[in-house]
């Protein structure tokens, strides 16, 4: 198994990225080889400083880096020797089985579409994210496709379902469509039609519309929305978690009594934080890509990179992309 | 000033509704007259039981009640002698200056559109709600118009701005458009065009796109979205507030230490709850209606009804509907 890693992407690159790679190699020894792409001199120097053992890690030189402020499409086209583009090429050429990057989400999406391509029937991959709540669920699309036809929403349901089954081990994942009411007639014409397509698909465990106020309640394993709405759900959840977290902190920093109260419920607060920590659930897969591409969080440290590599391995072992292509072609034949 | 009140709508009707009316009459004595519509016998009996003084409150008999489970359009058409429909008629005929109801949101919306009608240029009123956060803001549309053209989103900006200025006393309200990125080019074609219209409107203080994660940060006074997206924002905020509230409660109910911790930060928790309590900000106005209609929360008690009546009075005093019609016609002339 060969995983190609963008060693220069993310806030803590390259040190934490390399550390995560070394941890993953140790975990999966001797079956995992990692191709770490980046400034070779810097990577080797970093490994020396951190006393990292680079066995089963091959360093591949790339002279450029795509920054968070680079315009995605332009960066992919112009920074041809960037760690991300070189890694995407290695994946596209079949020299690796899957890819992990903590770099720019936009650039990784464009690069995946252009270089790695998609499975038949998918125009652009969907960005899927596991969101914490009463039980964690996969939300897609989180922003890659802002306008969606009904058949795309159905495809999101299929792709999310295959992912949760194959990679997360959930039997018969419950698939729901975000909508502003439980009734079939609710929502825009696109959502009304998508509801019918999802309902009629015999390979899905479709549980119907999911009202936004019930999203945190853990009523579905896969939550389907167009990229505009999905982005609102993902980012508003992050924003409100931050807002409520700040309020919670405020409770415990009001003088001596607050500090004392904090000591008394410290473990509960830490569990709460852990429950809201996206790193617990690895990275975000680009579903519909021809080969597995996992986007780790920009703030990912070694542990999150280790998790994302494990996730990429499961995608390969379970032939995620092949299963997805099969399910989607079946959907097209039946339509 | 005459306010017509649906005395049978809401979970705590008619007792709490009548109490709120009596409180409002006391506050605005002698300038307020309230027309309380509902089962006259029940209302009089309730007033007796609660020892309420009905001076300046006229009871108008209506034999039917619209339930939360009634289909909105059907209920408005068929329950012609319901408290809501009778109240809407009184408003439409100019026998009252504004209306308050804690009944079904859907029915009140349909009834307002059909009976009270809209100001020129508005097809269906938008449901606007004040949402708590670092600083409270007005979100519209919260679900009345799931599909919106760019000009409708511009009109929401104008209506929200007039409301915040006239009724909430905010000078030059900051208007923002929800979008999945700060750049003008972000979002669906509808949002790209709406951005340009809002930006070009000389009567608006348009501050640009607002990313969903920044929604709780208090960066705008008026937040514009189509009804589908607005509904997601409103309901997801409610759902997450409930979810986080439950987690917070969980912290303080874990044994003796949790209980002790609660005692130490009790006031902070109560402030937190108060900050998330929509009742603090009165009811939700249907903006674009030809006369002011305020939807109080279904769970509204006397205090919230009192607040909503005060809000209705400010709408009338500030000639909200006239100002809105003027601003919208100006927008049309200039287009």
Q: In angstroms, what separates the C-alpha of A177 from chain B's closest C-alpha?
A: 12
Interface test with A, best of B213, B249, B260 (most A CBs within 10 A): B213
Residue A199 to residue A197: CA distance in whole angstroms:
5
Tell me the whole-structure pTM to 2 decimals: 0.88
- On whether any CB of chain A is under 8 Å from the CB of B95, the answer is no
Residue B100 to residue B87: CA distance in whole angstroms:
9
- Average pLDDT over every residue of B178-202: 94
The pLDDT of residue B260: 72
Mean pLDDT across chain A = 91
Q: In angstroms, what separates the C-alpha of B253 from chain A's closest C-alpha?
A: 10
The pLDDT of residue B32: 97
- The answer to whether the beta carbons of residues B178 and B196 sit under 8 Å apart is no
What are the pLDDT digits (tens) for A117-167?
999 989 889 999 998 878 889 999 998 899 999 999 999 999 999 999 999
- On whether any CB of chain B is under 8 Å from the CB of A241, the answer is yes
- The answer to whether the beta carbons of residues A43 and A12 sit under 8 Å apart is no
What are the pLDDT digits (tens) for A304-316?
999 999 999 999 9
Q: Where are the alpha helices (DSSP H) in chain B?
A: 15-28, 40-49, 72-78, 83-92, 105-111, 150-166, 189-200, 227-252, 255-275, 302-317, 320-334
> What order do you get walking across the sheet with A57-61 strand by strand?
A57-61, A33-38, A2-6, A98-101, A293-295, A284-287, A126-127
The pLDDT of residue A110: 95
Q: In angstroms, what separates the C-alpha of B265 from chain A's closest C-alpha?
A: 6
What are the pLDDT digits (tens) for B80-89?
999 999 999 9
What are the pLDDT digits (tens) for B253-277?
767 777 777 776 676 666 666 655 5
Interchain contact, B251 vs A244, CB within 8 Å: no
Q: Where are the alpha helices (DSSP H) in A35-167?
A: 40-49, 72-78, 83-92, 105-111, 150-166
Query: A-chain residues within 8 Å CB-CB of B211?
Result: 235
What are the pLDDT digits (tens) for B89-118?
999 999 999 999 999 999 999 999 999 999
Residue with tokens 């209606």: B289
What are the pLDDT digits (tens) for A41-61?
999 999 999 999 999 999 999
- The answer to whether the beta carbons of residues B35 and B58 sit under 8 Å apart is yes
Residue with tokens 């795509």: A66
Residues 127-156 of A with CB under 8 A from B: 133-134, 143, 146-147
- On whether any CB of chain B is under 8 Å from the CB of A268, the answer is yes
- Average pLDDT over every residue of B129-147: 90
Nearest to B50 by CA among B10, B21, B16: B16
- Average pLDDT over every residue of B45-60: 97
- On whether any CB of chain B is under 8 Å from the CB of A214, the answer is yes
Residue B60 to residue A240: CA distance in whole angstroms:
44
The pLDDT of residue A228: 96
Counting residues of chain B whose pLDDT is more than 70, the rounded percentage is 93
Residue A139 is inside which H or E element, if any? strand A137-140
Residue B210 is inside which H or E element, if any? strand B205-210
Which SS3 state, helix, strand or coil, does residue B36 take?
Answer: strand
- On whether any CB of chain A is under 8 Å from the CB of B247, the answer is yes
pLDDT band at B247, cuts 50/70/90? confident
pLDDT above 80: residue A72: yes
Nearest to A116 by CA among A90, A140, A141, A144: A90
A221: left (phi over 0), alpha (psi -120 to 50) or beta: alpha
The pLDDT of residue B280: 58
pLDDT above 60: residue B311: yes
Query: A-chain residues within 8 Å CB-CB of B240?
Result: 216, 236-237, 240-241, 244
Nearest 5°: the CA angle A186, A192, A196 is: 125
The pLDDT of residue A148: 94
What was the ipTM of the complex prediction? Answer: 0.86
pLDDT above 70: residue B57: yes
What are the pLDDT digits (tens) for A175-196?
999 999 888 989 999 999 999 9
Burial label for A69, CB within 10 Å (0-12, 13-18, 19+), is exposed
Interchain contact, A232 vs B229, CB within 8 Å: yes
Q: How many CB pairs under 8 A join A and B?
A: 148
Which SS3 state, helix, strand or coil, does residue B116 take?
Answer: helix
Q: Where are the alpha helices (DSSP H) in chain A?
A: 15-28, 40-49, 72-78, 83-92, 105-111, 150-166, 189-200, 227-252, 255-275, 302-317, 320-334
- On whether any CB of chain B is under 8 Å from the CB of A182, the answer is no
């Amino acid at each position: 198994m060969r995983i190609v890693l963008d060693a220069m992407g993310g806030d803590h690159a390259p040190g934490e990225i390399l550390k995560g790679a070394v941890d993953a190699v140790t975990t999966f020894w001797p079956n995992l080889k990692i191709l770490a792409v980046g400034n070779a001199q810097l990577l080797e120097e970093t490994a020396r400083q951190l006393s990292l053992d680079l066995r089963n890690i091959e360093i591949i030189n790339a002279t450029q880096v795509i920054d968070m402020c680079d315009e995605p499409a332009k960066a992919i086209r112009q920074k041809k020797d960037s760690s991300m583009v070189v890694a995407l090429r290695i994946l596209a050429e079949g020299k690796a089985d899957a890819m992990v990057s903590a770099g720019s989400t936009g650039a990784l999406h464009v690069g995946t579409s252009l270089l790695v391509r998609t499975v038949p029937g998918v125009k652009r991959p969907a960005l899927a994210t596991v969101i914490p709540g009463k039980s964690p669920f996969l939300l897609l699309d989180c922003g890659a496709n802002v306008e969606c036809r009904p058949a795309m929403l159905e495809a999101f349901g299929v792709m999310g379902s295959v992912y949760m089954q194959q990679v997360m081990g959930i039997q018969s994942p419950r698939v729901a469509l975000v909508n502003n009411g439980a009734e079939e007639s609710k929502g825009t014409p696109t959502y009304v039609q998508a509801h019918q397509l999802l309902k009629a698909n015999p390979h899905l465990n479709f549980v119907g519309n999911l009202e936004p106020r019930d999203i945190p309640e853990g009523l579905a394993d896969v939550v389907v929305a167009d990229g505009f709405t999905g982005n609102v759900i993902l980012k508003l959840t992050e924003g409100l978690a931050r807002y409520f977290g700040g309020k919670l902190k405020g409770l415990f920093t009001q003088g001596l009594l607050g500090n004392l109260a904090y000591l008394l419920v410290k473990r509960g607060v830490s569990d709460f934080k852990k429950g809201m920590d996206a790193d617990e659930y690895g990275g975000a897969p680009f579903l519909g890509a021809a080969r597995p591409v996992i986007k780790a969080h920009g703030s990912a440290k070694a542990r999150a990179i280790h998790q994302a590599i494990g996730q990429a391995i499961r995608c390969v072992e379970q032939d995620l992309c092949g299963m997805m292509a099969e399910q989607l072609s079946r959907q097209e034949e039946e339509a």
